[in-house]
Structure 1
Amino acid sequence: MTKIIGNHDGKGGRNDTYDIGNRKNVRRPDAVREVKRGMHPDAHVVKINGREYVRDNPDTSKKDNVNRKK
Structure 2
Amino acid sequence: MTNIKGRNDGPGGRNEHYDVGSRKNVPRRNIVAEIKRGEHPGAHVVKINGREYARDNPDRSTADNVNRGD
Which interval holds the TM-score relative to the shorter structure? over 0.9
- Identify the residue that residue 5 of structure 2 maps to in structure 1: 5
Aligned length: 70
* Superposition TM-score, scaled by structure 1 size: 0.98
CA distance in 1: counterparts of 2:2 and 2:53, whole angstroms: 17
* Residue 14 (structure 1) aligned with residue 14 (structure 2): yes
User: Which blocks of at least 5 consecutive residues in structure 1 are unaligned?
Assistant: none
SS at match of 2:18: strand
Alignment deviations for residues 5-63 of structure 1 (CA, whole Å, 9 cap, x no partner) = 00000000000000000000000000000000000000000000000000000001111
Q: Secondary structure at the match of 1:40?
A: coil
* Unpaired stretches in structure 2, ≥5 consecutive residues: none
Corresponding residue of 2:43: 43
- % of aligned pairs identical? 67
Structure 1's consecutive aligned runs of 4 or more residues displaced over 6 angstroms after TM superposition are: none
Distance in 2 separating the partners of 1:36 and 1:68: 22
Partner amino acid, structure 2, of 1:26: V
